[in-house]
Amino acid sequence: MRELMSEANSRLTQWVRGVLGDVAVSELAPGEQQETPAVSLYMLRLGNGTQPPQSRCSFQVTLHYLVTTWADDLQQAHDMLLNLTFSAMESADYDVELNSLPLSVWKQFGIPPRPAFILQAPLEKPQPSRPVEPVKEQVLKQSPISSLAGKVVYGPGDISMPNVRVELPELNRSTVTDQNGVFRFGAVPAGQKVRLRIRGQEFAPVVQGQSLVFHLEPNGGVTCQPT
């Protein structure tokens, strides 16, 4: 298991330096790193994996990393964080949570609240292979992945709505819209019917790979239309 975590952290470190260049990357809690500029990738919690439940070839969880940045110049730290946020949103390998952490969490870290986001990264542990009888021909199964994105707006003026929770109940995943009302799920199993929930209202099936616009109505309802 240590090898799996080491490999996951190594991939994240390579991703960070691919975006920001040669910066210090720490797995310590925010505020404990010594170098600047630096990025803290602190594993905050575990979540359910994105793998379809009918698959038995491996086990999968989602690692939730708290991502913060540090620099002697405050603007540089903010620029680093924004670059990482947008890069993660563009990647099919990661999901982003922009919910604010409770003040009690920052208090436990012993530092004032600071800009941060949660990076969701999948971690897969293959099951030990079992002996099987030889077959006459080899059958290969592919499990392609896709992405699901959309936008939430309000009223006749199509005002972008930030911080609206969007859920995929079957996959036990959720995210919130950004400041432009946009949400995105990466690494969604392709070919699988997806049910999407916004403010208690569900839409199914949702077509993967197609951008959708959800309208919040003044009466509390939600309507959907493809772009």
At 116, the pLDDT band (50, 70, 90 cuts) reads very high
What is the average per-residue pLDDT within 20-48?
85
pLDDT, average across residues 195-204: 81
What are the C-alpha distances in Å from 85 to residues 67, 68, 155, 207? Answer: 9, 10, 28, 25
Q: Are residues 89 and 13 in the same domain?
A: yes
CB 183 within 8 A of CB 199: no
* Per-chain mean pLDDT for the chain: 81
The average pLDDT across 181-203 equals 79
Are residues 199 and 206 in contact, defined by beta-carbon separation less than 8 angstroms? no
Measured in residues, the chain has a length of: 227
Among 16-20, 46-50, 94-98, 128-132, the least confident range: 128-132
Task: Report if residue 186 sits inside a domain.
Answer: yes
Print the domain residue range for 92. 2-126
Do 90 and 153 have their domain in common? no
| Residue 130 pLDDT > 90 | no
Do 215 and 182 fall within a single domain? yes
Residues 121 and 152 placed together within one structural domain of the fold: no
96-105, 126-135, 163-172, 176-185: segment of lowest average pLDDT = 126-135
Higher pLDDT, 129 or 42: 42
| More confidently predicted of 131 and 122 | 122
The amino acid present at 213, given as its one-letter code, is V
DSSP-assigned states of every residue in 36-56: SSEEEEEEEEEEE--S-TT--
CATH of the domain at 35: 3.30.2000
pTM of the model: 0.55
Determine, yes or no, domain membership for 131.
no
CA distances from 194 to 133, 173, 219 (A): 35, 11, 26
Please check whether residues 181 and 103 belong to one and the same domain. Answer: no
Token pair 């290969």: residue: 140
Please state, in angstroms and rounded to a whole number, the distance separating the CA atoms of residues 56 and 63: 20
**Distance in angstroms (rounded) separating the CA atoms of residues 201 and 217:** 12
- 40-49, 184-193, 201-210: range with highest mean pLDDT: 40-49
| 107/160 same-domain check | no
In SS3 terms, 68-136 reads as: EEECCCHHHHHHHHHHHHHHHHHCCCCEEECCCCCHHHHHHHCCCCCCCEEEEEEEEEECCCCCCCCCC
CA 212 – CA 205 distance, rounded (Å): 12
Q: pLDDT at position 54, please?
A: 45
Please determine, for residue 86, whether its predicted confidence score (pLDDT) is greater than 70.
Answer: yes
- Cross-strand bridge partners of residue 185: 148
Q: 99 and 166 share a domain?
A: no
* Percent of the chain whose predicted confidence (pLDDT) is above 90: 17
Last residue of a domain, one of 62, 91, 126: 126
Model confidence at 81: pLDDT above 80: yes
pLDDT: is 55 or 135 the higher one?
Answer: 135
137 lies in some domain? no
pLDDT at 68 over 90: yes
CATH number at residue 219: 2.60.40.4130
The domain tally of the chain equals 2
Task: Kindly give the interhelix angle for 74-90 and 2-20, rounded to the nearest 10 degrees.
Answer: 110
Residue 133 falls inside a structural domain: no
